[in-house]
Structure 1
Amino acid sequence: MRHCQTLNRVLAGFLLALCLSVIVTLGSQAQEPAAEAGPQPYEMVRSLQSLQEQIAQGNSHAIAAQRELLSKMDAAFVDLPAGTWEEPRNARAAVVHLLSGGHPRVMRNLLTLDPLPNIDKRLMEASLAYIEGREEDMAVLLEEIDPLDLPSGLGGHVALVKAAPYIRTDPARAMELLQVASLLMPGTLVEEAALRREVFVAGMMADVDRFRVLSIRYLRRFRSSVYAGDFRRRFALALDTLGFVKSEDKFALLNPVLHEFDADSRRGLYLRLARSALLAGHLNVARKATAEAMSLAVEGTKEHEILKIYRAATRLDPETISANRDLLWSVDKRMLSEQDLAVLDGVYVVLNSVRHFPEPPANVIGEFNVASSMKDPEQRAWVTSDMELAEVILRRTDKVLAELGEQHDR
């Protein structure tokens, strides 16, 4: 395994060096106009795509190299003679260049040529419309163009951008186009981007099975991608909409996916699920998510303190009163946000309701010290912060007890 990783690094370094050599060559040609003709546009695009494949595999240095190569290509493409674009491969390269981050002035210049580059004019105009944010115009221009009828290196890009307007209006159609993009350009940044969007669309469609399959595929193919952070963000948002916290069976479906993440990401996702389940009242799921997160949390961190609260909240029964009391008293409140403190308050309220149901006797922990409600500043001078917290909790107790009383009557 270690030898394979070393080989991959060497190969990535070789490809990066090769692409950088193209950049240097383009730079020297810009300084020496009389020099021998350099690489053709389609050859430059190949170098660009090699860099993008490295970006998809997590090579952050390739981003800077890509930026520099694109800049060199912008200048070179504008200066190339019109006859260059009569070669179909070069004409396609111009569209790919723009959709890969090239400057739109290149395409604007090509659209003024007579004759035009040897490619469907709609593809040129559509790529320019997409880059300029005119998605409606782009959709109209591409409506009759099937990405599968194009060479794969261009068709994948076209399928990816053609899907964009449909994500909100017709998610099923968007999913079809994104699948085509992945099919036409496997292992490339186009497939990486398409998979990220597919996960988002599956979440919108509430398609749990597809969401799980696509997430696992992305993580196994592109977990190191420079853009994996965007995937994790989209994944977390989808968790909130797909209802994984509503039942233990549904939560169990998610576990294999979460175990594809690195430990840090997995801990954060379980923490998010535990909180959502707890606030929604699904205590069995909250208990399981909390246990998973606790096994990954580092003692003494804010996350660990929060998880103590969640753990106590999921086992509010008479048999665990003493253990919960000790656990909650061990929480370092200085590390908590206002929202976390509010959850802690709520747990204390329910804990005392269970302990003293149906009503807490006077002057015990369930009711706290009545002196904490005194308003005179001089009388309150001796009141501790814990007693002030107790006063806040006391104001919330009546509502909780009333609800418990109603359940008891039923």
Structure 2
Amino acid sequence: MRAVRTERFDVAVTGVGLVTPAGIGVEANVERVWSGTATAARDPELTGLPVDFSCRVPGFDAGALLGRRTAVRMDPISHFGVVAARQAVQDASLDPAAWDGARVGIVMGTSLGGWSTVEREHGKHLSDGPGFVSPLLMVMGPVNMTAGYIAMDLKALGPNQVVSTACASGNTAIGYARALLESGACDIVLAGGAEAAMSPTAMASLARAGALSTRSDDPAGASRPFDADRDGFVAGEGAAVLVLERVEDARVRGARVRARISGFGASADGHHASAPDPTGGGAERAIRAALADALIEPGEVDHVNAHGTSTPLNDKTESGVIRRVFGERPAVTSTKGVVGHLLGAAGAAEAVYTVLAVEQGLVPPTANLSSLDPEVQVDVVAKEARPMRIGAAVNNSFGFGGQNAVIAVTPA
């Protein structure tokens, strides 16, 4: 029998960090995401592929940000993750030199881990032989290493975990981090997601699967969630990290609380390896579970940050679920129109955007939405940001394998 929560457990979001195609840091992301300015552009590393554009993190110099001796031992996924974690800790006004590291946990989500390193070293093996494979491969490629490097960098010595639920990974990480705080296993948890998997092989596979937009004549306009003319997603990269604490602990130390994570729900479609269940049953179960966990009624939700991939099937199915659960009331947006689909980091970045929307009372627009699909019968924010009081918000994340994860966010 499922336990029914009778008292809500909120965790405080006291710090956030962002490394995305919209920029490095919260300020750069707010400027670009809330203006609805798309980031997709031609990608020299994808030249010659059926889809030759993507959303890359601009101006990221790992050597300058991390030190060259450190950076050379990491895959780009860990570069992004460590920088985002540092930002989040600084934003939370925490000093790793002063905290009890054994009480600080890390839960990071990813889909593919250090894929680009694995692909590069595999190429060396095939072309030159095993003697040319880097001994660093095994500390760069595995999916656990981003969380490990964050722990080393910040001396966070508590539980150190990685979750991989495809494109739902970031939200899943936040849900598990909240559970660590509720159990008393940690006093602080850094939770989020990271991805840097835009290698030629990965992108060729996604293109062959028909998942990517083929709008090569207009990369900036290719990611267009909920638009009648959408034809697939645009791949992106990056990382996002949230510092989570129990509300009372944040209050005692005088921390600024940006917002609260109040509920988490997860489910499986059990339907198809890559396509969503057309009934939306799994997504609906995850949303309703998050609301029940947060003791929130659907009518109390003012804003939904949708998974909104810009694929024909996802957007139709998800909008139907949103309409069924919430009706026409919530202001819906998909920030993938700006930053593309960050895969395993998507849920975490969108969780940060949801936190900022709740904090600011300002919903970002869905970029490139010029003609709403008539089958999308929800209130999608477009053209410009919408000021509004947000009493509760939901962030949806769904992934290949039919894995769904949803968080509920409430004001500080």
Which protein has greater RCO, CA pairs closer than 8 Å, 6+ apart?
2
Flag the structure with larger Rg: 1
Q: TM-score range by the shorter chain?
A: under 0.3
TM-score normalised per structure 1: 0.27
TM-score normalised per structure 2: 0.27
Q: Which has the higher strand share?
A: 2
Q: Which has the higher helix share?
A: 1
